[in-house]
Chains A and B, each alone.
Chain A
């Protein structure tokens, strides 16, 4: 049982490090492959209510 908890503890450290590393590497790859202008091009949400308002609906 002692070994089980030691393995679980190391597994948690290694798993966490692997996941964080994956995200950082992916973010770096995305930053290189796409222009900054495109990445920050999002505009505040549009919904069918917004569309109705644009068309003059209430």
Chain B
């Protein structure tokens, strides 16, 4: 039996510490890269090609702040659950409960959306080969099932697979870049003919911000691996920051290729912009490579989402914010197997709705709420535990500028979301208010209040 004896007294089974910076990179970039293959292009519909580029850079700044803040806090709070565990230690239980829910909903819905993409791609290919009307549901279920199985069997193999398929998906974009010959403008890329002024002015650029998040949404998921990396203080900052650099590069080359190949009116509407870009080159090799890249990016994203959602659910169970039954660790595979299993039907149910845009909007809004928390959390963290009071694996520069920038950027993105999805924004706010009331009046009485604070930190400054 793979149980671990702690201090020679109590036999415990903990999650396995086997991951390195490469796995952290694979987790973060793996979740996000699908956003380069689809979704980001709706920002072109809102703000035109240049509006999308401004959104890409503006939101890139937001996520760079997220990555820096996350790296510092996670290098200190080395616990599964990521931002949930951070909120618990730094802000308090009600915030932690809400952040935990943001995480589980954001990742489970994104997983469902990824599985839907795989199903839709299979149906598209079937249609192109003369088999119209293929039911995508078996492929949605199979995608969720095989990735859940992989996650169930162990985190090392799960994230090693994610590394391989994410790297292939990234290099597929690089292959396309080489294929469109950027050194010879006018042969394939037609930037001078296709680029226009801002079609809807600056309000269009603001509206594009919401979809600009697709370029990077999910990079903060790296910190869910904190309890399973061999050296959280080193691996999490290294994996997260290198992941963010990878995504900035991928975002820029994606935008550059797509806007040089198709007019913004078409680019803003298509569901598979990079696959379409390959089709426009009329090169069979590039079409096959981009089809593989699209499928792999969706699978890598779903795989990372299962990993992250299950860790957040598991951590909440371990602290009794949810029934402790969910806090079980598999004695052989050392994974949170009950949390993984429980979330399978939830993801399939979201997938079966077929409402890709609604599922994704709910996922993005949950993520945005999480980023708002992170800026407030960072300011509280530095105020309560100033530099030098506790050991930090990474210290981000220019504090409080990144936290304040993140807060301002979040406010701008809320406004942009309200312009496009006001009803969804209000609905999700109402949901979290109801959940908070339930937690405060019903669930919190089950929590063992002293047990949840595990970090051997000094008392916070001022307490």
Chain A residues packing against B (C-beta within 8 Å)? 1-2, 5, 8-10, 12-13, 15-17, 19-20, 22-24, 26-27, 30, 34, 36, 38-50, 52-54, 57-58
- For the complex, give the distance between the alpha carbons of A12 and B119 in Å: 11
Q: How many A-B residue pairs have CB under 8 A?
A: 136
Chain B residues packing against A (C-beta within 8 Å)? 1, 3, 6, 10-15, 75-76, 78-80, 85, 122, 126, 129-131, 134-135, 138-139, 141-142, 144-146, 148-149, 152, 226-227, 231-233, 315, 318, 324-325, 327-332, 337-338, 340-341, 344, 388-393, 454-457
- For the complex, give the distance between the alpha carbons of A16 and B145 in Å: 5
- For the complex, give the distance between the alpha carbons of A45 and B233 in Å: 12
Question: A12, B138: Cβ atoms under 8 Å?
Answer: yes
The minimal Cβ–Cβ distance linking B143 to chain A, given in whole angstroms, is 9
| Contacting residue for B149 out of A22, A41, A42, A43, CB 8 A | A22
| Contacting residue for B139 out of A12, A27, A36, CB 8 A | A12
The minimal Cβ–Cβ distance linking B268 to chain A, given in whole angstroms, is 32
Q: What are 19 A-to-B residue pairs whose CB atoms are below 8 Å?
A: A1-B129, A5-B126, A23-B340, A24-B341, A34-B1, A34-B331, A38-B331, A39-B13, A40-B325, A40-B327, A42-B329, A43-B12, A45-B80, A45-B227, A47-B232, A49-B76, A49-B233, A49-B392, A52-B391
Question: B148, A23: Cβ atoms under 8 Å?
Answer: yes
Sorted from nearest, which 6 A-B pairs have the closest CB atoms? A45-B227, A12-B138, A47-B78, A16-B145, A12-B142, A44-B454
- For the complex, give the distance between the alpha carbons of A15 and B231 in Å: 37
Question: B390, A58: Cβ atoms under 8 Å?
Answer: yes
Question: Please, which residues of chain B bring their CB within 8 A of the CB of A36?
Answer: 328
| Contacting residue for A45 out of B6, B78, B139, B149, CB 8 A | B78
Question: B338, A27: Cβ atoms under 8 Å?
Answer: yes
Q: A12-B138, A38-B12, A58-B391 are in contact. List 14 more A-B contacts (CB 8 A).
A: A5-B129, A9-B138, A27-B341, A30-B330, A30-B337, A38-B3, A38-B13, A42-B329, A44-B80, A45-B80, A45-B227, A48-B231, A53-B456, A57-B391
